[in-house]
Amino acid sequence: MKAIVVGGGIMGLATSWALARSGCDVRLFEQAALPNPLASSFDEHRLIRHPYGDHRGYARMIDDAFAAWDLLWHDLGERLYAPTGTLALSGNGADWAQRSAATLAAIGRPMQELSVADLPKRFPMLNATGVERAFWIDTGGVLFAQDIVTALARHLAAMPKVTVHAGTPVRSVDPERGRVITADGAIHDADVVVVAAGAWIGRLAPSLAARLVPSRQIVVYFDMPAADRAAWSRGPMIIEKTGDVGLYLVPPMEGRGFKVGDHEFSRRGDPEAGREAHEDEVGLLLDRCRALFRGFDRWRTERLKVCFYTVTEDERFVVEKQGAAGWIMSPCSGHGFKFGALMGLELARTIVSGRDPAVHARWAAGLEGDTPS
Ligand SMILES: Cc1cc2nc3c(=O)[nH]c(=O)nc-3n(C[C@H](O)[C@H](O)[C@H](O)COP(=O)(O)OP(=O)(O)OC[C@H]3O[C@@H](n4cnc5c(N)ncnc54)[C@H](O)[C@@H]3O)c2cc1C
């Protein structure tokens, strides 16, 4: 089978890898360098964690996601992941941590509730200001995202069944005929075309632009005294909802940067626009950091990074068949990287085995009761 994949972020790379492993001849088109530093997948890290609010389907998928990463580590010959455990906090009336704990208890992966008063004893880097409930689970950690896409791009370049076309924007896609036309006017045909164009997807699939909304997000990298960095370099990751911000903290595992971000979606912006950001845009997030982290006044903002992803209304992924030979692959909504290897493997299985595309779409949307196998 001949396959074309458009987009060299984690989704396009993992799908190319999985299709080639399944015996397909794959041509991968990426508009920029591979990997593209402006892609959603290109940042020092992305988190993988079991707590998932009410999204039972995605919480259940995490074990399969870990297994898929293990297969990738095997093929790459290196593990680009560090475990940290997951600390979920809530305050100010928000109940995401409680709902996550209830969901995980229901699927047999219980979290442990921690006493808020004891938090600073167990994690001396934290103040518990504003925290009402705290839950812990040993699983979860940091995927070294830009190292993963870099290693995967290198791996694909060495796979005999894959041809990589970097610096080659695709201008249009005909999902009925299995055809793409590149910016230079060249026509390429295949049995299947997978479009994994991240925040640019609305340009290639305008009918989906209203469902898949680009969202400009800012993360903050901090410079901090060596003692603080050493303390945080043992974890944990923190996911916190307080009602004002949806803070996540990525500890500086294995020498990587120390980062916080706000999971609240901006639902605005254009991935082609400038990527400048100012500290006043993250004022609420910095206020929350000041309240939550001990010694925060000694920390300095090292850099702000602007990154785009697509969001859907209900944060569910869109992986859907289009026409006779096309697939749209947009498993994002700000939480897709952790499922990158799994999404690629499962889409390749569906394409190669002829599994029901509707069942696949429901599974990727995290809807219960369906598994693609
Ligand atoms: C700030 C931030 C924090 C996040 N945190 C997490 C997290 O902790 N955990 C998690 O699991 N996920 C997280 N995510 C989400 C995750 O990064 C994304 O879901 C994932 O990287 C999306 O991958 P993708 O391949 O779909 O898109 P991208 O990585 O954006 O790749 C799309 C690629 O398609 C290319 N392209 C576009 N149009 C064309 C064209 N016409 N022709 C050729 N090529 C084209 C682009 O150049 C790009 O390289 C976060 C995202 C952001 C921005």
167 and 207, same domain (yes or no): yes
Mark whether 219 and 302 lie in a shared domain. yes
**Do 169 and 295 fall into the same domain?**
no
Q: What is the CATH number of the domain that holds 137?
A: 3.30.9.10
Give average pLDDT by consecutive 10-residue segment, the chain, 373 residues: 98 98 98 98 98 95 98 98 98 94 96 96 93 97 98 98 98 98 98 98 93 95 97 95 89 96 90 91 94 95 95 94 97 94 98 95 84 49
Beta strands in the chain (DSSP E): 2-6, 25-29, 46-48, 81-83, 86-90, 112-114, 133-137, 141-143, 162-165, 170-174, 179-182, 187-189, 192-195, 213-223, 237-241, 246-250, 258-262, 300-311, 318-322, 326-330
- Please tell me whether residues 261 and 334 are part of one structural domain: no
Same domain, 158 and 289: no
Q: Is the CB of 32 under 6 A from ligand 1?
A: yes
C-beta 141 within 6 A of ligand 1:
no
Which CATH number characterizes residue 357's domain? 3.50.50.60
Q: So what's the pLDDT on residue 336?
A: 97
Specify the pLDDT at position 368.
Answer: 65
Q: 193 C-alpha to center of ligand 1: Å?
A: 18
Q: Would residue 63 count as lying in a domain?
A: no
Residue 59 in domain? no
Whether 153 and 137 map to the same domain: the answer is: no
How many Å lie between the centroid of ligand 1 and the Cα of residue 43? 10
pLDDT at 250: 98
Ligand 1 center–CA 145 separation, angstroms = 10
Is the CB of residue 8 below 6 angstroms from any atom belonging to ligand 1?
A: yes
In this prediction, residue 372 carries a pLDDT of 52
CB of 238 sitting under 6 A from ligand 1: no
Determine if ligand 1 sits within 6 Å of the CB of residue 332.
yes
Residue 60 falls inside a structural domain: no
Per-residue tokens: 252: 């500086």
- Residue 67 C-alpha to ligand 1 middle, in angstroms? 21
Range of the domain at 162: 2-45+146-211+314-364
What's the predicted TM-score (pTM) here? 0.97
* pLDDT for the residue 373: 43
Asked if residue 65 is part of any domain, the answer here is no
